[in-house]
Structure 1
Amino acid sequence: ATGAGGAGNTPSSQRGFKRAAPGSKGEQLTLLALEIHAACRGALLPDPRHDSVHAIVLVAWEDAHDAVSADEVALLCGLVSAVQSLDPDVLIGWDIQRESLGYLVERAQHLGLNLLRALGRTPGLGSVKERQEDEWGALHASGIHATGRVLLNLWRLVRGEVGRTAEMARAFGIDFFSVLSRGSQYRVESLLVRLAHTQNYVMLSPSREQVGGQPAMEAIPLVMEPESRMYTSPVVVLDFQSLYPSQMIAYNLCYSTCLGRPSHVRAGQAAAALASADSGTDPAAGAKAGTAGAAGVGVRLGVTSYAVPPGVMTAGGPLDPDSLVIAPNGVAYAPASVRPGVLPRMLSELLNTRVMTKAAMKRHAVDRVLQRVLNARQMGLKLISNVTYGYTSAGFSGRMPFAELADSIVQSGRQTLENAIRLVEGHPHWKARVVYGDTDSLFVLLPGRSREEAFVVGAEIAAAVTACNPPPVTLKMEKVYQPCILQTKKRYVGYAYENPAQTCPTFDAKLT
């Protein structure tokens, strides 16, 4: 094969290839927009069998060129030359089937030209697509094909995006354009700031220096190295449903409930008592008066410092140490009975609303329009609940990162998974072994069992693990693999069965 930059054989590997320099105008994908101006007869719409093309407008990145053609055939040949010269990866048009490239293709056929083949990257060779009727593409995509190029029907893309965007804007309570232009943190904050306001909280707005000065995050999720081989016995796959959101709800993990490490609190209060003794003041009186140092010596907590007022974290006090929720990373949180967290309340409402939305989808299964609306809504609710943890852990670009809270969430999820593994492998009746685990999922091998027995044992495991955890932490059996191959982390393949009645398996692979 011969490259565009010179002759020679195609290299056998990617070694030696270079990407476009950062900041340069060269991108990995090049786009070319195409529109036309055609003649018409009176009030009739242009017909490619009768009405000629007067002008073709091409728009590429910072590239403009004007040319006048002697006739219509020369105009179409000029289009081919321009496209071959620019060599775009993607061709787009507003209505690419009827009023853009599609019109040109039909007009070229009337004039005896095969325009699509000429516009492709192999103009001398025919494509299999030329001989196929793409009925689905005609109704849902562009419906026309040029070898080596992606053809996009812009109005169809916008129509599908507008519906999803509108539902997300309604669900998140933000403006339409922000759904398209802003990231997940903005969406989380739009919900959190309104809910915090109803609870008389003010959102913290740390500086870049404060964000950079917070403690480094230490916790990582549990990702086991699988026992790499082929398994002919059933392997049950179980997943925790919304693991991180359920941890925040179950253990009341929130900005508003975090108290720091109890040892730090005691040290700060002891220092405050010593300082008060030296100055001859009463710490309790200072706390009531709101004087500096009344709450003790502040300790680092996230992006700021915080000190618990004296007498609060004592036996019989408002926050009895025995009633506190201690996360696996050693950070204490107020129980929900004392102070319900804002994040847990927000996530509970999101997950409950999603359950109601999915129930409404089942009740209105015959209404296709309503199905699309409700599906977009429940997907938006799922998205916002799953990215809430990321809002707390965005230590570089985050608006309100909180290292201790983020570590508590990850460590709680990791401990939940580890406890489930110990329960599964220690049960005398199941005789199971966990051969792989990844963040919120378990792969449980049942040696010598049948597939029907695997579904029974899988249901028992899901029920037992769920019963051992506070609500709403739920383990769900997803499927049974038989057989399957576990290669390495996040790479496996197998035949999947989702229920005992399924006789024909589906091929399932994860290669990321």
Structure 2
Amino acid sequence: MIGDFYILDFSYDVEEGKPVIYIWAIDKDNNRVLILEKNFRPYFYALLEDDNEKIIDEIRKLNKSESPITKVDVLEKKYYGNPVKALRIETVIPAYVRTYREAVGKISGIKEVLEADIRFYMRYSIDSGLRPFFWFQAEVEEIKDNRFRVSKVYNLTKVIKIYEDNPPELRILSFDIEVYNKYGFPDPKRDPVIIIGVWSKDGGKQFVNETGDDLKTIREFSKFILDYDPDIILGYNSNGFDWPYLIERVRNRNVKLDIGRKTGSEPSQGTYGHYSIVGRLNVDLIGFVGSIEEVKVKSLDNIADYLGVMPKNKRVNLEWYQIPEYWNDDKKRQILLQYNMDDAKSTYLLKDAFLPFGEQAAMISGLPLDQLSMASVGYRVEWLLMREAYHFNELIPNRAEREYEGYKGGLVISPKQGIHEDISVLDFSSMYPSIMIKYNIGPDTLVKGDCDDCWVAPEVGHKFRKAPEGFYKKILQELIKERRDIKDKLSKTDNEYEKRRLDERQKALKIMTNAFYGYMGWLGARWYSREGAEAVTAWGREIISSAAKIAESEGFEVIYGDTDSIFVKGDKNKVNELAKEISDKFSLDIKVEKQYKRIFFTENKKRYAGLTFDNKIDIVGFEAVRGDWCDLAKDLQRQVIERILLSSVDDAVRLARETIMKLRRKEFRIEDLIIWKSLDKSIDEYEVEAPHVSAAKKAMKAGYAIFKGGKIGYVVVKGAGKISDRAEPYFMVKDLSRIDVDYYVDKQLVPAVMRILESFGIKESTLKTGGFDIMNFFKK
């Protein structure tokens, strides 16, 4: 029969001594199905130093009966763009690729062993062209196999075509667990799970440990998953806490957390730290929040509040240390249950913010969504490159240990300090990818030595051949063309669903394209090239410098420049003409990105704030958008910025003085002075006792639970010694008179606002004492 299937994920197993690829999918009738590919075999390459028939014989002698070498073929391939001869060595069991890799690498005449570290099911995905969230049509044969929790199981005979179409409706479930623990970091050997909350389109449900036996609670949760049969399970830091905790909790009772679509399977930790659930996509949304720079403490409640899916004033807000207290008190337990339900619901609602982008990024990179959510942008780019390498007949380089090599970055034109009116920002669109395309930059086009027809990078002198087109250039051109086509389609459609899908695709393409430069300079990259990265920034510096000179020659004043943009003051009616002149000169797209009614710069680079013509305020580089200051300092700095942009410097100084005086008069809330820090490691892993670590230890000593990956809030109290000695968990400080007001004035408020006000000649003493103005303040 011929069927059409929507791909969710891949996995594999060895059955009767042979590997079987599992393609987990959904058919056109919305049935969850499994397609088995039984004919694909693992292989790797050996790069030959010369043509030596004896080498093939030597390789065949390595044969192991458990997984024999079934084929050794001599192929014409390319390696870094150069033609090479390579042996394609095929075996039976994927695990034996590693065994053969080591042995083959020792044979005389073998220059290098390649592509032996690619996961077997991903190797199949690359070679077959099948990718998550695409449809494929195939000739299949239905079989009976009760080992799998799906509607139908098929053997794959032949793939007919791969195509895009509207996806089926996916079943999505979110979950969140609460653990009872009063003795420091939760220990799954000791501390029970008390609540598991789940949320789906049907609403919420909870599994509560009423009897003291959390194994019963976890089993109820597992049964619910099997009955609901979700395609995607969402969590927030679930890879870091929930899954490992649940797995260890049942393992201590000799039980498996059997929730996959293959009977007897349990979540297992895989690549990038994610937990794989067979046949389902386990997506930890915390992997997507790194791009939200505005939120520094990326807790679930903060992210949900920032994105508007569940504002803090419409949910129960508890701190981790309150869980035992609320669980033990019958009158408060319902509040804890609602807190858990709000977390599960928040996680579910965040799907609309992150999954559309994630799906498109998975389609581009080929990485399954659960892996993609935890993989860095560099890894996402690399999987795209690996897929393209297969089509270009390029061998994939191995990973290598490399020493850090620094190089000069983008040009920053020092800002003209002070307030400026009517400023236009000219921004080069995708400058670095455009440079890579224009000058054919990549590890395969780099020429070391003489070259008659090369691009030569300014300052650094690295040479790149003009022809043929390099690996990076070809792929970047494809990505840019695809994005242009997508944006064209986007402008022509009225369908809201299609608009969202296309917009997320073009965003994913943009992020992927712009990440190529960073990937090339990443020490962990397979296609690493320090010379390439260094050349890109060298050309970038030349272009920005020249663009600034053109602007000045046309009567504009350049106020600031940074990497791929310049800030100019001049006739706003002529700024588009300036952009066209610069664009024509360098054959690069440049546009007027923003226009500011008012903007101010300090003497420091990458630090400014501006008021746009639609009255939005942009803040770049100040503590107001950083996380290591208390709310009072952050709020004051933001208000000072607003006063300068909307009113005057004098008004901003007056506000700062008033705030400091209120603090000295103890007109504050403890909550405004809390400094929040994340605990990225277990407490005993910290070598230096920073204030937040000291505060965490004090909380543990007092019997409060401390979670790795969580956050700790502390305040600084009066006393002798270092700040670390005087950092107290905020919930243990009830008396306002204990607060070290001088610390908050001298180390928080004043430094936060002086980052701005010192540029206007204001001194610290003016803020602290205030002179006659402060007296006028008291007369009001």
After TM superposition, the score normalised by the length of structure 2 is: 0.37
Give deviations 1:367-407, integer Å, cap 9, x for gaps.
22112211221111111111111111112x33332111110
Residue equivalent to 1:244: 432
User: 1:197 and 1:367 mapped to 2: Cα distance?
Assistant: 36
Look up the match of 1:145. Answer: 315
Shift of 1:185: 2.1
C-alpha separation in 2, matches of 1:219 and 1:506: 34
The equivalent of 2:498 in structure 1 is: 370
SS of aligned partner of 2:583: helix
Structure with the largest fraction of strand: 2
Q: Tell me, in whole angstroms, the C-alpha distance in 1 between the residues paired with 2:551 and 2:354.
A: 44
CA shift, 1:510, in A, is: 2.4
Does the alignment pair 1:494 with 2:604?
no
Per the alignment, residue 369 of structure 2 pairs with: 176
Alignment partners' CA distance in 1, 2:369 and 2:206? 38
- 1:36 and 1:221 mapped to 2: Cα distance? 48
Pairing of 1:80-479 with structure 2 (within 5 A)? 140-141=309-310, 144-147=314-317, 151-152=342-343, 153=345, 154-158=347-351, 160-208=353-401, 211-212=402-403, 216-231=405-420, 233-260=421-448, 265-266=449-450, 313=451, 321=452, 323-328=453-458, 329-335=460-466, 338-364=467-493, 366-395=494-523, 397-425=524-552, 427=553, 430-446=554-570, 453-454=571-572, 456-470=573-587, 473-479=588-594
Contact 1:483-1:495 within 8 A present in 2 as well: yes
**Amino acid in structure 2 at the alignment position of 1:432:** F
* TM-aligned CA deviation for residue 55 of structure 1: 7.0
For 1:46 and 1:418, the matched residues in 2 are separated by 57
Tell me the SS of whatever aligns to 2:537: helix
Cα offset, 1:436, TM superposition: 0.6
Report the Cα distance in structure 2 between the residues aligned to 1:259 and 1:381, rounded to whole angstroms. 29
Partners of 2:595 and 2:429 lie apart in 1 by 17
Give per-residue Cα distances to partners, 1:162-203, cap 9 Å, x unaligned. 333222211222223221232222221222223233333223
Verify the 8 A CA contact 2:309 2:350 in the aligned structure 1.
Answer: no
Q: How far did 1:224 drift? A: 2.6
Gaps of 5+ in 1: 1-23, 27-31, 38-44, 48-52, 59-63, 67-88, 94-135, 267-312, 314-320, 447-452, 498-503
**Deviations 1:438-472, CA, capped at 9 Å, x for gaps:** 111101122xxxxxx31x221121011111113xx
- Structure 1 pair 259/25, CA: closer, same or farther in 2 (3 Å)? farther
Distance 1:187 1:224 in 2: 33
Number of the residue aligned with 2:208: 56
Spell out, residue by residue over 1:392-437, the C-alpha distance to the aligned partner (whole angstroms, 9 max, x if none).
1112x33332111110111111111111112212x1xx32221111
> Is the contact made by 2:194 and 2:208 (CA closer than 8 Å) also made in structure 1?
no
Output the CA distance in 1 between the equivalents of 2:385 and 2:307: 43
CA distance in 2, matches of 1:326, 1:33: 65
Amino acid at match of 2:483: R
Are residue 483 (structure 1) and residue 598 (structure 2) matched? yes
Q: Is the 1:492–1:511 Cα contact (8 Å) retained in structure 2? A: yes
Aligned residue identity for 1:442: I
- 1:467-492 Cα distance to aligned partner (Å, 9 max, x none): 1113xx21111222222211232222
Distance change (3 Å), C-alpha of 1:217 and 1:145: same
- Alpha-carbon distance between aligned partners in 1 of 2:597 and 2:307, rounded to the nearest angstrom: 39
Unaligned 5+ residue runs, structure 2?
Answer: 1-183, 187-192, 215-236, 243-304, 320-338, 623-780
Please tell me whether the aligned partners of residues 217 and 404 of structure 1 are also in contact (alpha carbons under 8 angstroms): no
In the TM superposition, residue 221 of structure 1 has moved relative to its aligned partner by: 1.0
Match of 2:617 among 494, 507, 510: 507
AA of the residue aligned to 1:146: V
Which letter does structure 1 place at the counterpart of 2:551?
V
Q: Distance in 1 between matches of 2:433 and 2:619?
A: 27
SS of 1:387's equivalent?
A: helix
The one-letter code matched in structure 2 to 1:225 is S
Distance 2:539 2:307 in 1: 50
- One-letter amino acid of the structure 2 residue matched with residue 330 of structure 1: G
Change (3 A) 1:419 1:25: farther
Give the aligned partner of residue 87 of structure 2.
none
What CA distance in whole angstroms lies between the structure 2 residues aligned with 1:464 and 1:339?
A: 30
SS of the residue 1:252 aligns to: coil
Q: What is the TM-score when the length of structure 1 is the normalising length?
A: 0.56
Deviation at 1:65, TM superposition (A): 8.5
Q: Is the 8 A contact 1:36 1:57 kept in 2?
A: no
Note closer, same or farther for the CA distance 1:243–1:36 as it changes in structure 2 (3 Å cut).
closer
CA distance in 2, matches of 1:411, 1:418: 11
Q: Cα deviation per residue 1:241-282 (whole Å; 9 max; x = unaligned)?
A: 00100000111112221102xxxx25xxxxxxxxxxxxxxxx
Contact 2:444-2:471 at 8 Å conserved across structures: yes
Question: Within 1, Cα distance between the matches of 2:194 and 2:501?
Answer: 30
Residues 291-333 of structure 1, C-alpha deviation per residue, up to 9 Å, x if partnerless?
A: xxxxxxxxxxxxxxxxxxxxxx4xxxxxxx2x32111220111
Distance 1:35 1:475, change over 3 A: same
Answer yes or no: is the 8 Å Cα contact 1:254–1:341 preserved in 2.
yes
The one-character-per-residue Cα deviations of 1:202-222 (angstroms, maximum 9, x if unpaired) are 2322531xx23xx82322111
Distance, in Å, in 2 between the alignment partners of 1:158 and 1:464 is 44
Deviations 1:122-162 (A, max 9, x none): xxxxxxxxxxxxxx999943783234668432322345543
The one-character-per-residue Cα deviations of 1:340-376 (angstroms, maximum 9, x if unpaired) are 1111111111112112212222212x32211221122
Return closer, same or farther for 1:469/1:159 CA change in 2, 3 Å cut-off.
closer
Distance, in Å, in 1 between the alignment partners of 2:581 and 2:470 is: 28
Sequence identity (%): 24
C-alpha separation between the residues in 2 aligned to 1:441 and 1:46? 48
> 1:236/1:182 Cα in 2 relative to 1: closer, same or farther (>3 Å)?
same
Q: Distance in 1 between matches of 2:317 and 2:206?
A: 26
Q: Larger relative contact order (C-alpha < 8 A, sep ≥ 6)?
A: 1
Partners of 1:332 and 1:160 in 2: CA distance: 43
Cα pair 2:547 2:582 within 8 Å, conserved: yes
Shift of 1:240: 0.4
* Pairs aligned (count): 321
